[in-house]
Amino acid sequence: MFDLQDKVATSVSGVIEPTLQAAETARSARRPTSDLSAYDAYLRAFAMYSTSHRQLREALALLEEAIRRDPQYGPALGFAGLCCMHLASDASAPDREAIRLKGIEFGRRAVEVGDEDSGVLADAAMTLAVFGEDIDAMMLLVDRALTLNPGYARGWHVSGFLRLWAGQTDLAIEHAALALRLSPRAQAESSSFLIGAALFFSRRFEEAIPRLRVAIEETPAFLTPYRFLAACYAHAGLLDEARTTIGRLRALTPEVMVNYPLPFRDPQHRELYFSGLRLAMSETT
């Protein structure tokens, strides 16, 4: 009976948390900008981030305003780090290195003030892992977040990405699936990519392809799934499909081979990824 109660509580918290956040975000978006508090600035930034990654700089500016109002505001620090993480992946950004350093600072400050906040710890772990901090330490950080809140769907989602980057593909798929069970709507989009990438690194190419295709359909402006799908097609021997995918990617960016450090720690995984991309590109020349 007690075990059943725990399972019910975990499931309910996983459903309620993203619903409450969405309601608060919608409420904040209707407030005049001149009346924003640090909390409202954070929520408005969250609304921008959720609507379009094209507004990341505006979202970061709001978060920096929230942090100026309250330098100890953990959620704003953690989320500011995430914004920097995404901005630093833009090949055309002239200030990529400055953004990277700013993201590391936000992430470290978030860890300092967010010791009991599962959301802050998860955001900081993801940001710092992407920017090259020790992956084992970051996995411990997200594990602490999940100890604080076992029903935190986004925490399991972040944990899935950290396991992917650490080379633990089976755990990445398991944690992504758990995040989806807890919060299907909130975690659906990037979970397709996470599971697809984990299947790719496991050399389960035929299973990875539909996941990666869904990831592209869900977020057409997100470039990384195109690269993984092209590499996946190439390794599966589907070279016409690889060529077509590279063509779609080139229509969005001139940068097919990324020129910034990737978060994947396993050298075999990196080689699988880059060799697939090289093979796909060789078919388009």
Query: How many other β-carbons are positioned within 10 Å of the β-carbon of residue 189?
Result: 15
Same fold, 10-151 and 183-285: yes
Q: Which two tokens stand for residue 245?
A: 């995918």
- Other C-beta atoms closer than 10 Å to the C-beta of 17 total 20
Q: Would the pLDDT of 5 be above 90? A: no
pLDDT of residue 282: 87
Q: Which of 72, 78, 83, 180 is nearest to 122 (CA)?
A: 78
Question: With contact defined as beta carbons under 8 Å apart, do 65 and 42 qualify?
Answer: no
User: What confidence score (pLDDT) does residue 222 get?
Assistant: 86
pLDDT at position 86 over 80: yes
Range 67-77 average pLDDT = 94
Structure tokens at 127: 């940001």
Enumerate the domain spans of the chain. Answer: 10-151, 183-285
| pLDDT of res. 1 | 53
Pick the more confident residue, 62 or 282.
62
Per residue in 189-205, pLDDT tens? 689 999 999 999 999 99
In which residue are the tokens 């969250």 written? Answer: 46
Average confidence score pLDDT of the chain: 87
CATH superfamily of 183-285: Tetratricopeptide repeat domain (1.25.40.10)
Q: How confident is the model at residue 94 (pLDDT cuts 50, 70, 90)?
A: confident
pLDDT of residue 117: 94
41-55, 141-155, 170-184: the lowest-pLDDT one: 41-55
Nearest to 193 by CA among 225, 149, 171: 225
- The Cβ of residue 177 has, within 10 Å, a number of other Cβ atoms equal to 16
> pLDDT tens digits, residue range 211-222?
999 999 988 988
- To 5 degrees, how large is the angle CA 168–CA 170–CA 174? 115
pLDDT value for 260? 74
Q: Give the homologous superfamily in CATH for domain 10-151.
A: Tetratricopeptide repeat domain (1.25.40.10)
Write down the pLDDT at residue 24: 45
Closest to 14 (Cα-Cα) out of 138, 124, 157 = 157
